[in-house]
Amino acid sequence: MIDASDGLPAHIAILLNEKFDFSDSRAAMRKLKGMTRELKDQSTSTPATSKVSTSDGFKAVLSGGLDLFGGLGACQAPPCRIGYASQIARSIALMADEVIVGDSFFGEINSLKSRPTNNDLFPLLVDVMVLKKIQPLIEAGILKFSTPLHHFCSSCAKPFEERIDILTDQVLREISSSLKIDRSGKKPTLDFTQVYSPGVLIYLDSDRTDGVSDKQIIRESLKDSIRATFFDAQSASSIGGSVFSNSPAGISALISDDRRSEESWNLRAFSAERAAHLPWVSGLSIQQTLDLRSAANAALPSLREFLARRLVSTPSSLNPFAWMDTVAELREQAATARAELEIATSRSASLKRSATGVLGLCVSAVCLATEGPTTALGGLLGTLGLIHGMPAPDSNHSKEIKTRPGYVLVAAEDILKHAN
């Protein structure tokens, strides 16, 4: 039973506690339809503001296509969305102490009719499928939801929108030549390959295209993307977190507005995405990723810093092989860490065996000569217990090895080996 709490609204907790058989889509749809009234009641009873995060750790706010429920910047086909969930678990959710996404369920639930059709419910059902995929992250307290509401008074709303307009025009001047609308198919499509990475094609409804120029559609769509990035940046700022986005255009606007260095923002998003493709880490399930967080918790901060230093010193724009070099160095570190751990373990075991043999023999010999065989046996057993309880001479060295970046790969490989 999962209870509602800060960062987990009641309506999402209800969906997590309910069992859905997605192999029978009709049954799953009927169940969801029967929950509509309760979901609406619970969503409106959720406080408009709540403490999403109270920790001092590294917090990541997902934006753009990285927000699994935002509906922007990534393919929305169910198989792709399920795949994104696993990738984010192996990357950002591995590196960060907490991962924050917007509560898109609130608006989706409350926009439903009192008697929704299957077509009305289908987007919510897909969201539930993705939600179930990342349920282990939620239960572990790693992934949390923030309120989707952004409040502005009239005096603040106008300058904010003016700021977004200026930044939209600025980004348009840089990438407008690559943004195109194709009206030749059944539905017009907007090519946003330069706005998100990986690029996406957006299918446009007739109410957005009829009587509207391509230039206007492109500008409004880009403005929506940039505005969403700024809202997520506000959420991150309120909890002392960092924005992770797959929208170079949105991040570029954010950098320009805040006068930050470009690499510092790109690095944070880039290194987290790349972590999903680290050796052995890329083969982990979500539950195995949680196991890795536990097994290599002392090494994860150093891995994060290692990736940051390497990607700053050799930007991928200047060196296309920078990531390959980084992975090669991590593999080398992992091999060294495993070899040193094996040496430390074998040395510790050998030392204990030697101590047992020499010290135990001496104690037993003395007892045998002075007090008889019964006392000799007791002395030997006591000595064995004492030696067994002694700390390994190399335990401090082993702990130090387990704080190195390469140890994360060692732990990931061991988890995969034990699973097979």
Residue-level pLDDT at 274 = 56
Cβ-count burial 52-85 (b if 16+ within 10 Å, e if not):
bbeeeebbbbbbbbbbbbbebbbeeeeeebbebb
> pLDDT band at residue 250, thresholds of 50, 70 and 90?
confident
> pLDDT band at residue 260, thresholds of 50, 70 and 90?
very low
Query: Which 3 state secondary structure label does DSSP give 361?
Result: helix
Query: Which 3 state secondary structure label does DSSP give 181?
Result: strand
**Range 222-237 average pLDDT:** 88
Structure tokens at 71: 């509906």
Phi, psi of 415 (to 5 degrees): -65, -40
Of the candidates 97, 49, 46, the one whose C-alpha atom is nearest the C-alpha of residue 240 is 97
Query: Which 3 state secondary structure label does DSSP give 105?
Result: helix
Distances (CA, A) of 224 to 72, 220, 254, 354, 360: 10, 6, 14, 71, 76
DSSP state of 222: H
pLDDT at 212 > cutoff 80: yes
Distances (CA, A) of 229 to 74, 222, 255, 330: 14, 11, 11, 32
Residue-level pLDDT at 267 = 41
Phi, psi of 189 (to 5 degrees): -125, 145
Of the candidates 19, 122, 131, 142, the one whose C-alpha atom is nearest the C-alpha of residue 85 is 131
Provide the 10 A C-beta neighbour count for residue 358: 10
Residue-level pLDDT at 363 = 39
- Return the amino acid letter for 418: H
Q: How far apart are CA 247 and CA 374, in angstroms?
A: 77
Q: How far apart are CA 84 and CA 80, in angstroms?
A: 6
Structure tokens at 190: 């907007």
Residue-level pLDDT at 46 = 63
> pLDDT band at residue 376, thresholds of 50, 70 and 90?
very low
- pTM value is 0.78
pLDDT digits (tens, 9 = 90+) for 131-184: 999 999 999 999 999 886 666 777 888 888 999 999 999 999 989 889 999 998
Residue-level pLDDT at 253 = 85
Residue-level pLDDT at 271 = 44
The answer to whether 51 touches 143, Cβ cutoff 8 Å, is no
Q: Rg for the chain (alpha carbons), in Å?
A: 28
Q: What angle, rounded to 10 degrees, do the helices at 322-370 and 373-388 form?
A: 160
Q: Which residue has the higher pLDDT, 319 or 28?
A: 28
Residue with tokens 């946003």: 192
Q: Which residues contact residue 56 at a Cβ distance below 8 angstroms, ignoring those fewer than 6 apart? A: 240
**Range 14-42 average pLDDT:** 94
Q: What is the largest CA-CA distance in the chain?
A: 108
Q: How far apart are CA 158 and CA 104, in angstroms?
A: 25
Of the ranges 18-22, 92-96, 175-179, 269-273, which one carries the lowest mean pLDDT score?
Answer: 269-273
> pLDDT band at residue 329, thresholds of 50, 70 and 90?
confident
pLDDT digits (tens, 9 = 90+) for 295-310: 999 999 888 888 767 6
Q: How far apart are CA 122 and CA 22, in angstroms?
A: 12
What is the average pLDDT value for the chain, to the nearest integer?
A: 79
pLDDT at 349 > cutoff 90: no
